[in-house]
Amino acid sequence: MNFQHTEDRRMLADTLNRFIGEQYGFATRDRIARSEHGFSTQLWARFAELGVIGALFDEASGGFGGGGFDISVVFESLGRGLVVEPFLDTLIVGRALARSGNDAQKAALGALIDGSRIAALAHGEPDSHYELARVTTRAQRSVNDESNAWTLNGAKAVVQHGEQASMFLVSARTSGDDDAEAGITLFVVPRDAAGVNVRGYRKIDGGRAAEVTFDNVTLGDDAVLGSADAGFATLEYALSCGVLALCAEAVGAMDVAKDYTLDYLRTRKQFGVPIGSFQALQHRMADLLLEIEQARSAVINAAAALDGERTARERAVSAAKYSIGRIGTLVAEECIQLHGGIGMTWELPLAHYAKRLVMIDHQLGDEDHHLERFIALGAR
């Protein structure tokens, strides 16, 4: 299999890397990440104009990419700049809409791709512990109502950019046990629907998230994405796209952390010589470089499997997320230690890259969860 990027993907990566390098320096990123919105609406529009969002979707959805390698190219560049704009949830929600939406729901893809509308995934719950099928938020048919309306009740945790989203993709239990794959229904819920409550907060690695509760929210059948009780497959696929994106983002962040560390080893002197000349530090850095290449290979494998058969796709994605979790933590720890005490200072960008790498491990399932999932998928 040829893993070389196409000319279009190389051009996209070059354009995006140049734009981030010129317009999204660390000082700008830090200011945006700590802002009231948690991201820049102006830069989000610029990203859309560059076609970065469109690269995440295929032509049928209004984009011009949509393959696993398109996702990895975009998010690796975003990881290099620690970009906090809502790319991840736009990808996840958009891919779910494209896969299972009706004509009206698919029409919303245009607004997502041009950046004029923000969507957020509301799936994780306070006690779900990464288990994809554990959904306790409930949606029931309204009693004595000929309109076939649904009533939605429950709470969702860590909804990325929930304050700024105009629509939520919500998973709800419509039948079955709390841990059953069957009986999950996906709903497209407007942010301004009566009974939707959002409480926002800052995230430790920059940007903002929210706790979202649904208190007797009334929805029509047109809010159902796909079929009732059959939302798990769509949710699983969309989150696989999201996990691949996170893994690629981590590789981009690792590359930058590595470059910062190599530069420090070449310039910091002890006993009159650069500390990079010390054999013990050379060995540690060489081991780190090998681990980063292993992470990159895992992402390539997941990107190649994204559009394949379900079990092979899910195993490849979980293998990549496990590798990223382990290696990302190692890179964060080693790069900070090789910098010494300065590596932990807020003013040094490295500390923010290390923090992001650690947090990526805990997003959409940590390494322990994905190792267990990889084993379980192989046993089926």
In the chain (380 residues long), the average pLDDT of successive 10-residue segments reads: 73 94 94 94 96 96 94 97 97 98 95 96 93 96 73 96 97 95 97 96 92 96 95 98 98 96 89 85 94 97 95 97 97 93 84 95 96 88
Chosen domain end from 204, 229, 254: 229
DSSP of 335-362? HHHHHGGGGG-TTSHHHHHHHHHHHHHT
Please report the pLDDT score of residue 2 as a whole number. Answer: 54
pTM summary value: 0.95
Same domain, 239 and 353: yes
Please report the pLDDT score of residue 145 as a whole number. Answer: 58
Same domain, 66 and 139: no
State how many domains the chain has: 3
Please report the pLDDT score of residue 144 as a whole number. Answer: 59
H or E element at residue 115: none
Same domain, 44 and 85: yes
The span from the CA of 316 to the CA of 321, in Å, is 9
Q: Which residues have CB under 8 Å from 322's CB, separation 6+?
A: 367, 370, 371, 374
Chosen domain end from 208, 229, 250: 229
The answer to whether the beta carbons of residues 39 and 85 sit under 8 Å apart is yes
Same domain, 372 and 244: yes
Same domain, 254 and 374: yes
**1 belongs to a structural domain:** no
Same domain, 171 and 203: yes
pLDDT digits (tens, 9 = 90+) for 325-363: 999 999 999 999 999 878 788 788 999 999 999 999 999
Please report the pLDDT score of residue 3 as a whole number. Answer: 59
- Paired residues of 217 in beta bridges: 152
Please report the pLDDT score of residue 143 as a whole number. Answer: 66
Please report the pLDDT score of residue 374 as a whole number. Answer: 96
The span from the CA of 326 to the CA of 373, in Å, is 15
| Residue 2: burial class (beta carbons within 10 Å; 0-12, 13-18, 19+) | exposed
The answer to whether the beta carbons of residues 104 and 224 sit under 8 Å apart is no
Both tokens of residue 319? 């293998």
Please report the pLDDT score of residue 179 as a whole number. Answer: 94
Q: Can you give the residue range of the structural domain that contains 46?
A: 7-113
Same domain, 261 and 349: yes
